[in-house]
A and B are shown apart, each in its own frame.
Chain A
Amino acid sequence: MTLENHWSNTVFNLICEQDISIVSFVPDAGLSQLIDLCVAYESIQTVRLTSEEEGVALAMGTWLGGKKSLLLMQSSGVGNCINMLSMLNTCQVPLPMMVTMRGDWGEFNPWQVPMGQGTENVLKEMGVTTFRAQENDEVAKCAEGAIRFAFNTYRPTAVLIDQRVLGAKTFGR
């Protein structure tokens, strides 16, 4: 995959088209290109978080203030968001999330597996509608659906980006 056809470019264009002006994130290697694009673009305010649940609470505030936001995280971070997601559900607040997976296809690190395997279930249990992208070409389609679904129906959504798209981290093995 070259830089030009990387899904990050299409998703970045979607963010701009959909008038999402605030992007918050906890970094992941798989998200680094999208984060760089957002940070470099002056019409988007980026917020670097220390923990993913901050991004959920932040989205509550941005929506109260009339702005759309997007949250980027690795799947381990979903576990950090559980209780805070209650707020989006109860208040009917839209928030699309892009979640890069660990602990599934090709995983090297056993410590990543429990949360990775639980990620989709946890999101569903907390009322987040999920879309799973297993190929590079599917990411943008899932992202478009997730963003539209979130803002049209006032709900949290998540795109889970599979390790088949990202490449599994192998620690040189």
Chain B
Amino acid sequence: MTLLNRRQVVEHLLQPRGDLLVVAGLGAPAWDITAAGDHPLNFPMWGGMGGAIATGLGLALAQPTKRVLVITGDGELLMGLNSLATIGVSQPTNLAIVVLDNEVYGETGKQKTHTGFGVDLAAVATACGFTNSSIITDVNELTSLKKEVDGSGLMFAQVKVDSKSEELVLPPRDGALLKNRFREALLGDQCHFSN
């Protein structure tokens, strides 16, 4: 069976993207969401490894009427795996987590991650209280995945992807800019005038 390609998966999820607020974990997921089209409501992380889904939780709690999508990698998630427990306790209904699982640390020389040795992230999510948690391996599952990402309810999907390195499509690096343009797009100009 041919493994899914990360860019294909992310393009499928973000084109069209509707009103999604998108957080991407550092490394390849940040380049992937940018390759699908830079957008002010993207927050691609350049650091804070292990913090992507906790950032997504904060955003989901702050904006309960908006749908939040976190796209991250297996290595990034493994560093903050405990946040699945925190999210499982919080149960935000507007948070979708998609892990692009290539079973390697792609940015550092493709050393195997724990998922390459059989650690089942979707099972961890289930054990943490995600009632909607799945492993996606087939291109035919992408349409239903997109529906769930755009829909409602807390969800977790571990998407098995190939470990091929893609073209670097880099978002802006200035964290203050990324934050300010996100807030302005979401909250309007007035966010700069009040706290």
A residues contacting B by CB (< 8 A) are 19, 22, 45, 47-51, 53-69, 83-84, 86-87, 90-93, 151-152
Question: What are the nearest 10 A-B pairs in CB distance?
Answer: A61-B58, A65-B62, A57-B51, A91-B175, A57-B54, A61-B59, A90-B175, A67-B62, A58-B58, A87-B48
- Which secondary structure characterizes the binding site on chain A? helix
Pick the residue among A19, A65, A83, A90 that contacts B58 (CB under 8 A).
Answer: A65
The residue that B43 contacts in the complex, of A56, A58, A64, A67, with Cβ under 8 A, is: A64
Partner pick for B47 among A19, A50, A51, A86, CB 8 A cutoff: A86
Q: Given A54-B86, A61-B56, A66-B191 in contact, is the A90-B47 Cβ separation under 8 Å?
A: yes
Set of chain B residues within 8 Å of A83, measured between Cβ atoms: 47-49
CA distance in complex: A49, B50 (Å)? 14
Residue numbers in A under 8 Å from B21 (CB-CB): 64-65
A22: contacting residue among B43, B58, B82, CB under 8 A: B58
Verify A53–B50 contact, CB threshold 8 A.
Answer: yes
- 1/0 per residue, CB under 8 A from A, across B1-45: the answer is 000000000000000000001010000000000000000000101
**B57 cross-chain contacts in A, Cβ below 8 A:** 47, 58, 61
Does A57 contact B82, Cβ atoms closer than 8 Å?
no
Q: Determine the chain A residues whose CB is within 8 A of the CB of B62 once the complex forms.
A: 22, 61-67
Which of chain A's residues have a CB closer than 8 A to the CB of B186? 64-66
Contact A92 B82 (CB under 8 A): no
Given contacts A64-B62, A65-B63, 20 further A-B contacts (CB under 8 A): A47-B57, A47-B90, A49-B86, A50-B83, A50-B85, A50-B86, A53-B80, A54-B83, A56-B48, A56-B51, A58-B55, A61-B54, A63-B179, A64-B58, A64-B183, A66-B63, A83-B47, A87-B47, A90-B46, A91-B178
Does more than half of chain B's interface fall in helix, strand or loop, or is it mixed?
Answer: helix
Interface centre among B60, B80, B86 (most CB of A within 10 A): B86
Q: What are 25 A-B residue pairs whose CB atoms fall within 8 Å in the complex?
A: A50-B83, A53-B80, A55-B54, A56-B48, A57-B48, A57-B55, A57-B80, A58-B54, A58-B55, A58-B61, A60-B55, A61-B54, A61-B55, A63-B179, A64-B182, A64-B186, A65-B60, A66-B183, A66-B186, A67-B62, A68-B195, A84-B51, A86-B47, A91-B175, A92-B175
